[in-house]
Amino acid sequence: MSSDATTTPSSRETANAPTPDLRIVAMVGIAAGALGGLFGVGGGLIIVPGLVLVVKLERRLANGTSLAATLPIALASLSTYLYNDNVDWAVAALLATGTIVGAIIGTKLLTILPKRTITIVFIVTVLATAIRLFTTSDTTGRDGLTIFTAILLVIIGLTTGTLSGLLGIGGGVVMVPAMVVALGMVPVIAKGTSVAVIVPTSIMGTIRNRKTANVDLKVAGVAGFSGAVTAIIGGTVADSISTSVSNVMFAFLLLFVAGTQFVTLRSDRRADLAAAAA
């Protein structure tokens, strides 16, 4: 049996891909870290488009690499939220219960779904989050946890973990608005809780992605550790920024990212049509 028979499509595409420019990868990580720390996300919303559009990684590889890169960024962000006592550990534990299982599901889907479908899911997720942030108002804190809210948090976590494994995002874009809207949590605490949950989600997703060759650990390390420094700065700023300003800034960021991914989707479509006609 030839060696190609046991090689996944992603590993073949990776072998034929050009060597990434690590200086550009570091710049992507720096931007992702700043925004990840500021908004309580892992940074995948910046890392995935950066790796696809600028570094020119294949979509599945970019998603898996992004999820690995979110680990050091999330850990750095978490340190600042912990310092300011902005983590709700009871909520984090319930969310993590769902995200760990969801990450397994999402990374499995990553090896099955077509790249075009992955991109569409990414765009829809980003747009839905942006709309929610535009409509989110100030909150004063959550009430006590009930059985209903506990089950709801596990379901939110499951959804988040699945999207994280599939799209390479840390999951904060789902968890933060969900905690603010569904539980009435103060945004800065929702952000701190989010990055706490992103840590185990990233670990589980990366373990799974390594088995299917959907992660470049060298690129992930450069992006992640470059972003860790700026994540600390972003997390510090997050403790003082107003809720309304934070939500509007994040929503516009999401709209921009969705736009870049739509352009990518159209470019990929034209390339597929040209290849079919050749």
The 8-class DSSP code of residue 240 comes to T
Q: pLDDT tens across 56-113, in order?
A: 888 889 989 999 999 999 999 999 999 989 999 999 999 999 999 998 898 888 888 8
Looking at residue 6, its pLDDT comes to 43
Say how many C-beta atoms besides its own lie within 10 A of residue 175's C-beta.
32
The pTM of the full predicted model, rounded to 2 decimals, is 0.77
278: confidence class by pLDDT, cuts 50, 70, 90: low
Token digits of residue 49: 């488009």
Helix locations, 84-146, DSSP H = 89-110, 115-134
177: confidence class by pLDDT, cuts 50, 70, 90: confident
Q: What is the mean pLDDT of residues 160-167?
A: 83
Q: Find out whether 141 and 186 touch, Cβ atoms under 8 Å.
A: yes
Task: Find the helix or strand (DSSP H, E) in which 257 lies.
Answer: helix 243-277
In terms of pLDDT, which residue wins out, 13 or 225? 225
Looking at residue 140, its pLDDT comes to 64
Q: Is pLDDT above 70 for 266?
A: yes
CA 53 to chain centre: 16
Looking at residue 126, its pLDDT comes to 79
Report in angstroms the alpha-carbon separations of 244 from 38, 85, 135. 14, 21, 10
Query: Which residues does 84 contact at the CB level (< 8 Å), separation at least 6?
Result: 188, 192, 239
Q: pLDDT tens across 110-161, in order?
A: 888 887 787 788 788 778 878 877 776 666 677 778 899 999 999 999 988 8
Give CA–CA dist 137/117, Å, rounded: 33
Report the length, in residues, of the chain: 278
Looking at residue 271, its pLDDT comes to 64
Looking at residue 268, its pLDDT comes to 66
Looking at residue 59, its pLDDT comes to 82
Looking at residue 203, its pLDDT comes to 92
In terms of pLDDT, which residue wins out, 222 or 120? 222
1: confidence class by pLDDT, cuts 50, 70, 90: very low
Looking at residue 75, its pLDDT comes to 94
Give CA–CA dist 151/145, Å, rounded: 10
On average, the pLDDT of the chain sits at 83
Give CA–CA dist 70/203, Å, rounded: 9
